[in-house]
Amino acid sequence: MAKIIGGLTTSHIPAVGNAIAREQQNDPYWKPFFDGYPPIHAWLDKHKPDVAINIYNDHGLALFLDQMPTFAIGAAHEYINEDEGWGIPVLPPFKGDAPLSWHIIESMVDDEFDITSCQEMPVDHGFTVPMQLFWPGLGKHPNFPRAIPISANTVQHPIPTLKRALDFGKALGRAIRSYPDDIKVVILGTGGMSHQLDGERAGFINKEFDLMCMEKIVTDPESLTKISRRELVRQAGAQGTEFLMWMMMRGALGDKVNPIHQNYHIPISNTGAGTMMLECID
């Protein structure tokens, strides 16, 4: 049977992709951010997951405001990266795992989640930046996993509640664990943390709220479901709603997790950048 070994979180801002392309990891501006990742590299090299399920939000490459599904799951054999106009080099295709994708989709529908299944799904920086951060070199990395993208709506209101996001993760965990193949799976929850890119609150960051979320998502994720969508925007900013994808990841891990590593740094591109590594407890 498939086994979920842990969950990882990271910001996915496009400026990070540019920094990687320009090899600026040791630049004084970037170093405190990139220093959060070597312990995760060591953990991944030790455990060697076969599949990474990458929960992110599409930024208009595959999906746009005219058709924005609440939850979309990739069901392709590979996922193409395309130019978004940020100046980030286009990356080679990412190998998928279509049989596992369809198993997850079938199981999620059985659990009464309405899923948009995507047999073609170009992936943007929300997907590619976390893959670069966790597996430097991507396809040249000796332990580079197959990948399945799951896109959540964080931009076109009404967005999912934090409770719905956590419940989605719980159903995702059940789906993965019922897959008959003997594989190891890691779940990525990407985005955020607090940030707002436009309007009167442009540049808004709420460190206190971010650190509270990083604590509670480990010990008591259910308590975070009491935060309404309106309150989430107020506390985390208009784009800080991406935290709901962390909740989707957390739900898949089960009741108890062991926090192995975390890092928090501000500001990176006007964003509160949080990184966490959570190991599943059998």
* 125 included as an active-site residue: yes
CA angle 183, 186, 187 (to 5 degrees): 135
* 157 labelled catalytic: no
Among the listed residues 125, 141, 157, 261, the single catalytic one is 125
Rg (CA), the chain: 17
pTM across the whole model: 0.95
Supply the pLDDT for residue 139: 83
| Ramachandran angles phi, psi of 229, nearest 5° | -60, -40
Name the band, by pLDDT with cuts 50, 70 and 90, for residue 268.
confident
Tens digits of per-residue pLDDT, 102-129?
999 999 999 999 999 999 999 999 999 9
For residues 259-266, give the mean pLDDT. Answer: 96
Return the half-sphere exposure (C-beta side, CA atoms, 13 A cut-off) of residue 106. 9
Contacts of range 176-180, beta carbons closer than 8 Å, 24 or more positions apart: 176/2, 176/4, 176/53, 176/100, 176/104, 176/252, 177/1, 177/2, 177/3, 177/4, 178/1, 178/2, 178/103, 178/107, 179/1, 179/2, 179/100, 179/103, 179/104, 180/1, 180/2
User: How many whole angstroms separate alpha carbon 101 and alpha carbon 98?
Assistant: 5
Q: What's the confidence (pLDDT) of residue 67?
A: 86
pLDDT at position 165 over 90: yes
Q: How confident is the model at residue 282 (pLDDT cuts 50, 70, 90)?
A: confident
The number of beta carbons lying within 10 Å of the beta carbon of residue 180 is: 8
Options 12, 59, 103, 195, the catalytic residue: 195
44-89 tens-digit pLDDT: 999 999 999 999 999 888 888 888 899 999 999 999 998 888 888 8
SS3 203: coil
Per-residue pLDDT tens over the stretch 172-217: 999 999 999 999 999 999 999 999 988 889 889 999 999 999 999 9
- Domains of the chain in start order, with CATH, are 3-280 (3.40.830.10)
Both tokens of 276, joined, read: 């966490």
> Which residues, 6+ apart, have CB-to-CB distance to 58 below 8 Å?
72, 124, 126, 151
pLDDT at residue 35 is higher than 90: yes
What is the DSSP code (8-state) at residue 82? -
